[in-house]
Amino acid sequence: MASNKSRLNRRDILKGFGLGALGLAFGGKPFGPAIGYAAPGSPWVKKNGLFRTKPAPAKVALIKGNDRRDIVYQALKKIEDEALASIGDKKKILIKPNFVITSRQLAATHVDAVRGILDFLRPHFKHQIIVGESTISREGTFDGFKNYGYLALEKEYNVKLIDLNHQPWQYRYVFGKGHRPTPIRIISTFLDPDLYIISAAKMKTHDRVVTTLSLKNILLGAPLNDYKKNDKGLMHSAYNFSREALLHYNMFHLAQEIYPDLGVIDGFVAMEGNGPASGTPVDAKLALASLDPLAMDILATKLMGFDPTQIMYLTSMAKAGMGQGDLDKMEVLGTPPEQCQYHFKPHKRLLEPYGL
């Protein structure tokens, strides 16, 4: 269960969300400085420095090339000093790939992208690294580890593969059907303040929120699927566009306590169309990395050909100061963005609601 330290009263919650962020989540003006502050003593302020009125300029590494493993490694090398400093003396690192299903490689983070991350970490970090996922598939996470070639990583890098769905969990609350507060089981790993979380995401379109990248990989990975009941479904209620605002809001809500320390996007062979599982490939040949996952996801959304200001959870987080939301305040390191611009097909469900 959540500790007393993590529990806030209604007044603290309203302060923590910020009036600007709440308004934005339900259709307010995108981006700009937040007008609310996190509640005094909130645990996420100390960990992540969220709700800053003026988020710092962000560095986002962007590499285009012909070798997936190498471009991920080169993207991380572009931010090497800052990345190593952010890890500091952390003794636990989690690399969290995206296996939305366990039987289609196009829908999953490729093992060579994770190898690129491990190539970068190994010379500097001698402790055992965890590679963990919490798939929605009934077959289980290890079915994905097997099908996608991850089992070899244990011998190659002395990493430990874990199914996060078998880890302990704690209750948190999200908004559910009828806009009622609903208890949701959150995997305790994602709440560990001593864990350094690397989101190893896949560049894909999505059937509800347009794109799925580094933030969504963590925020939808955190709810438990114990293979009898899948709490990830509590994040959204139905295939009804008017209700999908709940998914945007619930991700914004959880992000105040659950947030990646480092984001990496595997866009070597990306997915367009009916993602996150049934889309078609795009040979984008891209990799991105940043200590500001929000800035990176906004840039990646733009490179995919979508308008990030239309995506409520991104604009809400930017408004709240969870990261840099202004493309003009992002320093892109590596390949110039104009050489990486694409026009991904959106999911067919979103053509009308988003005017795509």
What is the arithmetic mean of pLDDT over 134-163? 97
Q: Which of 192, 249, 187 is nearest to 221 (CA)?
A: 187
Asked if the structure places residue 4 within a domain, the reply is no
How far is it, in rounded angstroms, from Cα 99 to Cα 137?
8
- Residue identified by tokens 């800052």 is 82
For the chain, first and last CA: distance in Å?
42
Report the DSSP pairing between strands 262-272 and 330-334. Answer: unpaired
CATH number at residue 315: 3.40.50.11440
Give residue 258's domain range.
Answer: 54-350
Contact assessment for residue 160 and residue 154, using Cβ atoms and an 8 Å cutoff: yes
- In residues, how long is the chain? 356
Distances in Å between the Cα of 281 and the Cα atoms of 81, 102, 269 are 34, 17, 6
Average pLDDT for the chain: 86
Position 16 confidence tier, pLDDT thresholds 50, 70, 90: very low
- pTM as predicted: 0.86
- The pLDDT, as a whole number, for residue 224 is 98
- Confidence class of residue 51 from pLDDT cuts 50, 70 and 90? low
The residue among 329, 257, 267 whose CA lies nearest residue 292 is 329
Return the pLDDT at 237.
66
pLDDT, residue 210, reads: 94
Q: Residue 352 has what pLDDT? A: 76
132 within domain boundaries:
yes
Of 81-85, 285-289, 319-323, 335-339, the poorest mean pLDDT is in 319-323
Q: Is 285 helix (H, G, I), strand (E, B) or coil?
A: coil
> How far is CA 253 from each of CA 120, 172, 214, 313, rounded to the nearest angstrom?
32, 10, 16, 9
* pLDDT(28) > 60: no
Percentage of the chain lying above the pLDDT 90 cut: 75
| pLDDT range class, residue 353, cuts 50, 70, 90 | confident
Average pLDDT over residues 324-348: 97
What are the pLDDT digits (tens) for 184-242?
A: 999 999 999 999 999 999 999 999 999 999 999 999 999 999 999 999 999 986 555 44
Q: What is the pLDDT of residues 176-195, one digit of tens each?
A: 887 789 999 999 999 999 99
CA distance 89 to 125: 9
Query: What is the share, in percent, of the chain residues with pLDDT greater than 70?
Result: 83
Residue-level pLDDT at 49: 52
239: left (phi over 0), alpha (psi -120 to 50) or beta: beta
29: DSSP letter:
-
Would strands 181-187 and 169-175 be described as parallel, antiparallel, or unpaired?
Answer: antiparallel
Q: Is residue 140 part of a domain?
A: yes
15, part of any domain: no
* Domain-located, residue 194: yes
Q: What count of other Cβ atoms lies within 10 Å of the Cβ of residue 226? A: 12
- pLDDT of residue 309 exceeding 90, the answer is yes
| Token output for 28 | 């307010």
pLDDT per position as a tens digit, 94-147: 999 999 999 999 999 999 999 999 999 999 998 889 999 999 999 999 999 999
Residue 349 gets which letter from DSSP?
G
Residue 355 lies in a domain: no
Domains contained in the chain, number: 1
Please report how the helices 80-87 and 68-78 are oriented relative to each other, as an axis angle in degrees rounded to 10.
80
State how far the Cα of 334 lies from the Cα of 322, in Å rounded to an integer: 24
* Range of 33-47, 203-217, 238-252 with top mean pLDDT: 203-217
Domain presence at residue 47 = no
Q: Tell me how far apart the alpha carbons of residues 217 and 208 are, in angstroms, rounded to a whole number.
A: 14
C-beta of residue 36 within 8 angstroms of C-beta of residue 11: no
Res 11 pLDDT > 50? no
Provide mean pLDDT across the span 236-256. 77
The per-residue pLDDT for range 255-296, each reduced to its tens digit, is 999 999 999 999 999 999 999 999 999 999 999 999 999 999
- What is the three-class DSSP state of 303? helix
- 216: in domain: yes
Across 29-33, 70-74, 341-345, least confident range: 29-33
Is the separation of the CB atoms in 208 and 149 below 8 Å?
Answer: no
Q: Which of the two residues, 354 and 168, has the higher pLDDT score?
A: 168
Non-local (6+) Cβ contacts of 261 within 8 A are 86, 87, 196, 197, 198, 291
